[in-house]
């Protein structure tokens, strides 16, 4: 539900060309609260909790697709609003809040991929983690953020065609997202 509110707020900021401090700060607060709640849940989870938690993850078409879609949309719209704000506004406070939105949007994208990887892996396999324990939330977060930061699968083996496709799309999206952030940062430093 928080993701849906973030999407709506982001669409409002982009469509109305409103990169104002209040709207961007509210988006940041929602993103930080959402990510913070996820971090608390991650820290409280234990390795032996993984099978039960994974069974509660929506794996059907509507549940999984919409769950991931809202994360990706919240991330993309938040990033777009932040980029538009950074480029168009001269207020340093607004730019700082927009910069935080870029970081939160990046984290939302990869947290969404972590949930998607866990659901797909539980339903039909596709990831082989090192060691003999079943993967838990931390393992999927590790994998998603590694792909997001390095565009590579690290020490986790991708074993199915469907999962290879998901990882490739994630890596390519991350590459362009990170390239846009670097280009924006260079542009800001030059101005």
Tens digit of pLDDT for each residue in 129-155? 998 888 988 899 999 999 999 988 889
Which structural domain range is residue 125 located in? Answer: 2-190
What is residue 155's three-state secondary structure? Answer: coil
pTM of the predicted protein model: 0.80
pLDDT confidence bin for 61, thresholds 50/70/90: very low
Q: How many domains does the chain have?
A: 1
Q: What's the pLDDT tens digit per position in 149-189?
A: 998 888 999 999 999 999 999 999 899 888 888 877 776 67
Cβ neighbours around 39 below 10 Å, total: 13
pLDDT tops 50 at residue 2: yes
- What kind and span of H or E run contains 105? helix 92-124
pLDDT value of position 168 = 94
């Amino acid at each position: 539900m928080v993701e849906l509110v973030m999407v709506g707020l982001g669409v409002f900021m982009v469509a109305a060309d409103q990169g104002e401090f209040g709207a961007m700060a509210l988006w940041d607060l929602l993103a930080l609260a959402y990510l913070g709640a996820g971090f608390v849940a991650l820290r409280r989870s234990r390795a032996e909790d993984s099978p039960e938690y994974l069974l509660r993850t929506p794996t059907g078409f509507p549940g999984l697709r919409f769950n991931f879609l809202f994360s990706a949309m919240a991330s993309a719209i938040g990033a777009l609003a932040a980029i538009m704000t950074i480029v168009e506004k001269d207020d340093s406070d607004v730019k700082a809040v927009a910069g935080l939105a870029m970081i939160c949007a990046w984290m939302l994208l990869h947290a969404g991929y972590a949930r998607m990887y866990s659901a797909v892996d539980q339903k039909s396999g596709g990831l082989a983690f090192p060691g003999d324990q079943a993967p838990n939330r931390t393992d999927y977060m590790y994998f998603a953020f590694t792909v997001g930061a390095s565009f590579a699968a690290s020490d986790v083996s991708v074993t199915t065609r469907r999962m290879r496709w998901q990882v490739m799309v994630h890596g390519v999206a991350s590459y362009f997202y990170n390239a846009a952030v670097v280009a924006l940062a260079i542009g800001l430093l030059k101005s």
